Amino acid sequence: MNTAPMREKPTLVQVNAPRRTHQDPADNDRSVETARLLRIAHDPDETEARRAEARDRVVVINLPVARNLATRHVGRGIAYDDLVQVASLALVRAVDRFDPEFGRDFLSFAVPSIRGELKRHFRDLGWMVRPPRSVQEAQAEAVKVRDELEAKLGRRPTDEEVAEHGGLDIAAVSEALALQGCFTPASLDKPLQADGTAVLGSLIADPESQFAASEARLMVRPLLRRLDPRDRTIVRMRWFEQRTQQEIADAIGVTQAQVSRLLTRILNELRAGLEDGHIRQTA
């Protein structure tokens, strides 16, 4: 007979993980510092230089938030750098528009603004991911006529010759031929050199590593001052007044397509200036 004492069956008690009831210290520190800097930036008794410095610091310490929001839209057909640019410009605009007298946290105001600007960017440039059928058809027709004429002439014809031969509008031909290849994804393994030592994929930077230098690259205020008056007006209307491309076109007397090209050029100039500033700073 087994006389060993019976062991009590353990009672299973479910232990829930403690609920997170407060911000991470880093988030809290950022919020406190942002509030302090915003009070300085909007204080009329402070010097203009001190207000500008405080404003720029608000942008810098909140750039991780803008970058995080941009990262959530990666993989939808628009380059990561462009998304970061859009989010960062929206952050700058939010800093300018925020009124600390309202007493709310800055990010509760800035985050919806940044998200809205990213959505508008996709709305305005979405045709670049899936172009309208009319654009694809125009491009196909122009290429067909060009190839026929090239075979006949034994050389690559000019856009004017293509337009005349095909009875097409010269502006439409030039735009369509400029877009050739933009609608077809390129293989990341495509060689960039004849010896195959470099491939297209090697040019794609890691978004995580890019952010290490974003503070220096994304301070756009000095670059905006260098733009000519019309470009500054376009930037103000598009990213500060949230106007559509068509509204901008109507205001400055050009077409929506021209505004789209102007915005692309302006962004490229700003990006080049930011990259140049980063190189000088890290040299």
Tens-level pLDDT at each residue, the chain (283 residues)? 455 555 444 443 343 433 443 444 456 788 888 889 988 988 889 898 898 899 999 999 999 999 999 888 776 667 788 888 889 999 998 888 888 877 668 888 888 889 888 888 877 665 444 556 666 777 788 888 988 888 888 888 888 888 888 888 887 777 677 665 555 444 455 554 445 555 544 444 444 444 433 343 345 666 777 888 888 888 888 877 778 888 888 888 889 888 888 888 888 887 777 666 533 444 4
Say if residues 161 and 131 touch (Cβ distance below 8 Å): no
Domains detected in the chain: 30-128 (1.20.120.1810), 132-182 (1.10.10), 217-283 (1.10.10.10)
Regarding pTM above 0.85, the answer is: no
Measuring CA to CA, how many Å separate 24 from each of 15, 29, 43, 101, 105? 23, 9, 29, 25, 15
Measuring CA to CA, how many Å separate 219 from each of 15, 222, 270? 48, 7, 10
Tell the residue number behind the tokens 């985050």, with chain if given: 111
Q: Which two tokens stand for residue 119?
A: 């959505």
For residue 120, give the 3-state DSSP assignment. helix
The burial class, CB within 10 Å (0-12 / 13-18 / 19+), for 143 is middle
Q: Which tens digits make up the pLDDT trace of 89-148?
A: 999 988 888 888 776 688 888 888 898 888 888 776 654 445 566 667 777 888 889 888
| 242, β-bridge pairs | none
Distance CA 85, CA 212 (A): 15
Q: Which two tokens stand for residue 248?
A: 């901008």
